């Protein structure tokens, strides 16, 4: 059966919640008290959602191309074990790189790789994939069979908004509470950042962003500087192209008009301004492919095409994090003035 994008998102949500329930129940029984397992604050463990939809996609492909039942089952086991192992390793590595903490550690298990994965659990995930495809997913399909296309669309959008909010809040809290950079490293980062963007800041077009308000009392230039510096620090820590992240982040909102003023020629600002900013940036500067992708894709998922480069994804998330911070600062100010 072919699923729509909205159906895939709802399945992702169901299995992310089921994974959280399974992990939290096991940890709570073991500890004798409630334990909220997983990275997020809410009742979701996204790695289970990614794993489940990946396994279901593999199962769909096997149904279409492998007609021998025994061979299909064996391939489902092998491919699912490989897929979930790669996913678990990537998630464990990324979380430790960004937050300097391991959410799981298989170092005491035999045949482990850097503590992120081990042979025993890889085989377990392969077996659970068969259980998912043969038993759990048919039950999930039955439970959701009464949903209309509109129900799936509404559920998908609500879940996407909730997941984005929970991820941004959790990430900002973790980044604030985890280890702080040493003073010398912070100074080196500041110097390196200035070297990345000083030629852009010297240009009149970039300085013109200070004439327009972006969020609350924050100017477009201040907003872009915050996104740029945040993205630079994250990419520097991850070993990515921090220079392109800094430069693309600084230029990502170079649309040069006040979007708060109604104008029939500027409708759908949220969808259109990345293309306008890219046109302005292309006219003024020589951009590399990463910088162009950062500017054009930074509104994802509001705009449907996702970023092509990891640096662009970092800037996309940093933009949303800084926006939430600026919005909350405005709300706090409103309460103090009221």
Residues 6+ apart with CB under 8 A from 57: none
CA pair distance 202, 47, nearest whole angstrom? 44
Residue closest to 116 by CA, chosen among 160, 143, 86: 86
Give the Cα separation of 79 and 81 in Å (integer): 5
pLDDT at 225 over 60: yes
Q: How far apart are CA 44 and CA 279, in angstroms?
A: 39
pLDDT of residue 330: 58
Nearest to 74 by CA among 53, 87, 59: 59
Cβ contact 206:251 at 8 Å: yes
Q: What is the pLDDT of residue 178?
A: 58
Do the Cβ atoms of 204 and 283 come closer than 8 Å?
no
pTM of the model: 0.55
Mean pLDDT of 4-15: 94
- In the 8-state DSSP scheme, what is residue 303? S
| Alpha carbon distances (Å) from 129 to 12, 71, 77, 90, 252 | 15, 15, 7, 19, 41
Strand partners, 113: 117
Mean pLDDT, all residues of the chain: 87
CATH number of 180-337: 1.10.3210
Give the gyration radius of the chain's Cα atoms: 23
Where are the chain's structural domains? 5-174, 180-337
**Which of 95-109, 176-190, 229-243, 267-281 is predicted least confidently?**
176-190
Closest CA to 20 of 37, 3, 1, 34: 37
pLDDT at residue 329 is higher than 70: no
CA 24 from chain center: how many Å?
23
Would you say residue 187 has pLDDT above 60?
A: no
CA–CA distance, 240 with 13 (Å, rounded to integer): 30
Please return the burial class of 139, using the count of CB atoms within 10 Å of its CB with bins 0-12, 13-18 and 19+.
exposed
CA-based angle 69:74:77, to the nearest 5? 125
Q: φ, ψ for residue 71 (rounded to 5)?
A: -65, -40
The more confident residue out of 220 and 260 is 220
H helices within 66-209, ranges in order? Answer: 69-99, 119-131, 137-143, 149-177, 183-201, 204-207
256: left (phi over 0), alpha (psi -120 to 50) or beta: left
Exposure letters 301-319 (e unless 16+ CB within 10 A, then b): eebeeebebebbbbbbbbb
Look at residue 281 and tell me whether its pLDDT is greater than 90.
yes
Share of the chain above pLDDT 90, in %: 58
Mean pLDDT of 168-185: 63
| 112 φ/ψ angles, rounded to the nearest 5 degrees | -100, 160
* C-alpha to C-alpha distance for 244 and 283, rounded to whole angstroms: 18
pLDDT one-digit tens code per residue, 285-315: 999 999 999 999 999 988 889 999 999 999 9
Does 186 score more than 80 pLDDT? Answer: no
């Amino acid at each position: 059966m072919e699923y729509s994008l909205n159906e895939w998102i709802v399945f992702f949500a169901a299995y992310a919640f089921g994974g959280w329930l399974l992990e939290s129940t096991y940890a709570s029984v073991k500890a004798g008290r409630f334990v909220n397992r997983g990275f997020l604050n809410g009742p979701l463990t996204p790695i289970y959602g990614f794993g489940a939809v990946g396994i279901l996609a593999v199962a769909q492909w096997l149904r279409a191309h492998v007609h021998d039942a025994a061979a299909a089952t064996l391939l489902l086991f092998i491919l699912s074990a490989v897929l979930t192992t790669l996913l678990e390793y990537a998630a464990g590595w990324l979380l430790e790189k960004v937050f300097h903490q391991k959410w799981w550690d298989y170092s005491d298990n035999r045949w482990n790789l850097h503590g992120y994965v081990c042979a025993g659990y890889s085989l377990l995930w392969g077996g659970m994939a068969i259980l998912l495809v043969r038993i759990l997913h048919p039950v999930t399909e039955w439970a959701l069979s009464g949903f209309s296309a509109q129900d799936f669309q509404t559920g998908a959008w609500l879940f996407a908004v909730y997941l984005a909010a929970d991820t941004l809040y959790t990430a900002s809290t973790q980044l604030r509470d985890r280890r702080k950079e040493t003073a010398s490293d912070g100074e080196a980062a500041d110097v390196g950042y200035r070297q990345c963007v000083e030629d852009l800041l010297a240009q009149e077009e970039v300085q013109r962003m200070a004439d327009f308000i972006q969020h609350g009392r924050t100017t477009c230039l201040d907003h872009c500087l915050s996104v740029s510096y945040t993205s630079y620090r994250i990419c520097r820590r991850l070993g990515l192209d921090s220079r392109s992240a800094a430069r693309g982040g600084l230029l990502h909102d170079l649309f040069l008009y006040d979007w708060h003023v109604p104008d029939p020629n500027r409708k759908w600002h949220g969808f259109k301004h990345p293309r306008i900013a890219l046109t302005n940036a292309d006219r003024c500067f020589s951009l590399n492919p990463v910088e162009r992708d950062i500017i054009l894709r930074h509104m994802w998922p509001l705009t449907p095409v996702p970023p092509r480069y990891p640096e662009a994804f970092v800037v996309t998330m940093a933009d949303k994090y800084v926006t939430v911070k600026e919005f909350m600062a405005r709300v706090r100010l409103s309460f103090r003035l009221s």
